């Protein structure tokens, strides 16, 4: 339900609001704690990794293994204990989740105040010497298998899915924030209707990385048209419309929402380091011209 309302990444306000259990309001997570057990529950409900605001401070200790390590060394995610005492009550909660084979929610920070929920996630190793646990996400399955930790193949499959989702979610949040939540072409300010469009598709291993300068905030309509090379943006940030669309005449959405943008300059982020990469724009514009 929350993802339907807010999209992939959830704002902290939605997580903090929680849910109703019986007559009580139960929080999903705590702002001050990475490992969270609601008073109404016997065991841990969630763990959290944050992206602090610029100059901000994380009030608890946590970590996620680097992508390189995840890709080559393990099929799990690493999550650090609270502090350095393995017997801290919060750390023992993670041991309890492992022993009880209980699914938990991993709220992974993709931007300041925005979290991608990974559920179900299982604690599959509790390591006091390393002061960390290993978390294994599980592919969404039917309710009959919810209470069963994932097997090795499930772990590998789920981790690939999770990493891709986290990359894309983080990319979207950073790009949308750089454009202050507005479509760079139309100015549309509704967060639920804008995306982060790749300039160079992520299938390109060299230039298609989820780098903020490889993204432009666009409405879902303009994003689809850009991906289909029906809209082009040149290195001077000027908008071009394909002849195919210019020849069509079919109502105000097409006339004003797309064709009316021809020759306009897109809205850019205020900071230079957040603006689209000119080399990528030039390469993508060449593709547009060939497709036109």
pLDDT at 115: 93
pLDDT at 252: 85
Least confidently predicted of 67-76, 81-90, 264-273, 276-285: 67-76
More confident residue, 71 or 140: 140
| C-alpha span between 189 and 36 (Å, rounded) | 34
Query: What number is the average pLDDT over the span 119-136?
Result: 92
pLDDT band at 73; cut points 50, 70, 90 = very low
* pTM recorded for the entire structure: 0.73
pLDDT at 74: 58
pLDDT at 5: 47
pLDDT at 161: 83
B/e letters for 67-80, b = 16+ CB within 10 Å, e = fewer, are: eeebeeeebbbbbb
More confident residue, 94 or 69: 94
pLDDT > 70 fraction of the chain, expressed in percent and rounded? 87
pLDDT at 67: 34
pLDDT band at 18; cut points 50, 70, 90 = confident
> What's the mean pLDDT when you consider all of the chain?
86
């Amino acid at each position: 339900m929350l993802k339907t309302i807010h999209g992939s990444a959830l704002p902290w306000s939605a997580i903090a609001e929680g849910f109703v259990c019986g007559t009580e309001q139960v929080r999903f997570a705590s702002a001050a704690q990475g490992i969270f057990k609601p008073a109404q529950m016997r065991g841990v409900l969630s763990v959290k990794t944050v992206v602090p605001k610029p100059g901000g401070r994380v009030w608890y200790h946590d970590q996620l293994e680097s992508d390189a390590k995840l890709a080559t060394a393990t099929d799990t995610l690493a999550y650090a204990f609270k502090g350095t005492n393995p017997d801290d009550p919060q750390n023992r909660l993670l041991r309890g989740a492992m022993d009880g084979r209980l699914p938990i929610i991993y709220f992974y920070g993709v931007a300041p105040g925005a979290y991608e929920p990974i559920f179900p996630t299982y604690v599959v190793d509790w390591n006091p010497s390393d002061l960390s646990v290993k978390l294994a996400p599980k592919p969404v399955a039917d309710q009959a298998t919810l209470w069963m930790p994932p097997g090795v193949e499930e772990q590998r499959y789920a981790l690939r899915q999770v990493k891709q989702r986290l990359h894309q979610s983080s990319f979207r949040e950073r790009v949308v924030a750089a454009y202050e939540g507005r479509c760079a072409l139309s100015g549309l300010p509704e967060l639920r209707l804008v995306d982060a469009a790749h300039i160079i598709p992520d299938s390109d291993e060299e230039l298609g990385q989820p780098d903020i300068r490889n993204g432009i905030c666009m409405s879902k309509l303009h994003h689809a048209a850009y991906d289909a090379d029906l809209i082009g943006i040149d290195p001077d940030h000027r908008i071009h419309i394909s002849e195919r669309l210019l020849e069509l005449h079919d109502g105000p959405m097409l006339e004003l929402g797309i064709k009316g943008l021809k020759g306009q300059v897109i809205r850019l982020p205020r900071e230079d380091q957040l603006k689209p990469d000119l080399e990528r724009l030039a390469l993508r514009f060449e593709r547009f011209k060939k497709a036109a």
